[in-house]
Amino acid sequence: MFDIEKVKNNLSLNITSVFLELLFYDELIKNNSAQIEQTIDQVAIAKELVNSGIKTESYLLDFFTQMAQDSLNLVVSKNAYQSKLIDLIQLLDIKDTHGFDIIIPKNLKLLPKANKAVDDYYNIALTVLPEIKSAQYRLQNAESNVKYIKGNRLPSLSFEGYCGTNYSSNSTLFNQHGEAIDYLYYNQLNDNINMYFGLRLTIPIFSRFSIRNSVNIAKINSSKMATNIQLTKQNVYQEVQKVYYDFIAAKEQMMFEKKLLDASELSFYHANEKLKAGIISVYDYGTVKTQLIKVTSKYLQAKYKYIFKMKMLDFYTGVPISLEN
């Protein structure tokens, strides 16, 4: 039972990971779509400038190049989304996939957690994880088996009993005059009753060391189960420790990427204003825009990595995984 729970937990974590990747690509698609809309507006302005003779044809072509790059980014992000959606469908084992898609959580918040020490998370994990309970159950079973086998060394007293009767269609009953009469079914059952009751005492004196060997084997198995518990606890501690420090690192990375994103957005804002004023080339503008797209992607990756590590901490404390805060 506990092994099944562990499989369910692993599946739950895999589904959560894929779902968060879908949220990442969904945001990336929206961001790339917004970039295309912005470039479309700039193409319209560039056409007016070229038609009025203020700018040359090459000026407009540079925006078409930017439009092509923005469109490529959108296609790549959409393809990645569809690929992850297939992964989710396979994990959920959904047969009818027509119209299947995810629902974007409305209240996905980046709430700071990890307000406990590693040992606190570990101690909680010991009480909720099925692999710990499974190892404990196997040890209890092995210890009980040792006691059971040891019991074979002791004398045993057993009670035996038997009660039976029989009936035959060929049986004949004679009366006092020597005449054959019907031997009725119920009369036969009553007349043929036989019973046996007794006590049996068994004292093991010599069993060719089979009991002793069985006890030794059971003790070895019990010792293995005890060692297995310690190894399982050690693995759980290492997992909790890694998730805890991965969470801290993911949080710091997300905060750093957010600062870079804020700076890139400000730089892009000024580049856009300079483009409107005609004091920056389309190439330099495209460089700033490309940098913003890269930084945005890195921030979104860091954001959802942080959320996943946060949910893993919940998992190790027995809190059901949920993206609605």
Whether 250 and 309 have beta carbons less than 8 Å apart is answered as yes
Distance separating alpha carbons of residues 268 and 254, to the nearest angstrom: 20
Distance separating alpha carbons of residues 88 and 23, to the nearest angstrom: 12
Exposure on the CB side of residue 162, measured as CA atoms within 13 A? 5
Distance separating alpha carbons of residues 224 and 112, to the nearest angstrom: 41
* Same structural domain, 300 and 249: yes
CATH number at residue 82: 1.20.1600.10
Mean predicted confidence (pLDDT) in 214-222 = 84
Distance separating alpha carbons of residues 73 and 28, to the nearest angstrom: 9
Q: How confident is the model at residue 1 (pLDDT cuts 50, 70, 90)?
A: low
Is 237 contained in some domain? yes
Check pLDDT > 70 for residue 324.
no
* Same structural domain, 58 and 37: yes
Distance separating alpha carbons of residues 71 and 66, to the nearest angstrom: 9
* Same structural domain, 113 and 241: yes
**Residue located via tokens 């959802």:** 304
Is 76 contained in some domain? yes
Check pLDDT > 80 for residue 111.
no
* Same structural domain, 125 and 79: yes
Is 304 contained in some domain? yes
Number of domains in the chain: 2
Is 208 contained in some domain? no
* Same structural domain, 169 and 26: no
Q: What is the pLDDT of residue 198?
A: 85
Q: What is the pLDDT of residue 63?
A: 86
Is 305 contained in some domain? yes
* Same structural domain, 168 and 295: no
Q: What is the pLDDT of residue 298?
A: 93
Is 267 contained in some domain? yes
pLDDT by residue (tens digit) across 49-78?
888 888 888 888 988 998 999 999 999 999
* Same structural domain, 193 and 246: no
- Among 203, 231, 261, residue at a domain's last position: 203
CA distances from 182 to 166, 189, 190 (A): 16, 14, 15
Q: What is the pLDDT of residue 72?
A: 94
- DSSP letter at 208 equals T
Is 143 contained in some domain? no
Q: What percent of the chain has pLDDT over 70?
A: 94
Q: What percent of the chain has pLDDT over 90?
A: 26
* Same structural domain, 123 and 241: yes
* Same structural domain, 17 and 94: yes
CA distances from 317 to 107, 118, 126, 173, 312 (A): 22, 11, 9, 81, 9
> What's the residue count for the chain?
325
* Same structural domain, 118 and 258: yes
pTM of the complete model: 0.70
* Same structural domain, 67 and 21: yes
Q: What is the pLDDT of residue 262?
A: 95
* Same structural domain, 40 and 128: yes
Is 271 contained in some domain? yes
Whether 77 and 21 have beta carbons less than 8 Å apart is answered as no
* Phi and psi at residue 174, to the nearest 5°: -110, 140
Domain hosting residue 182, numbered range: 155-203
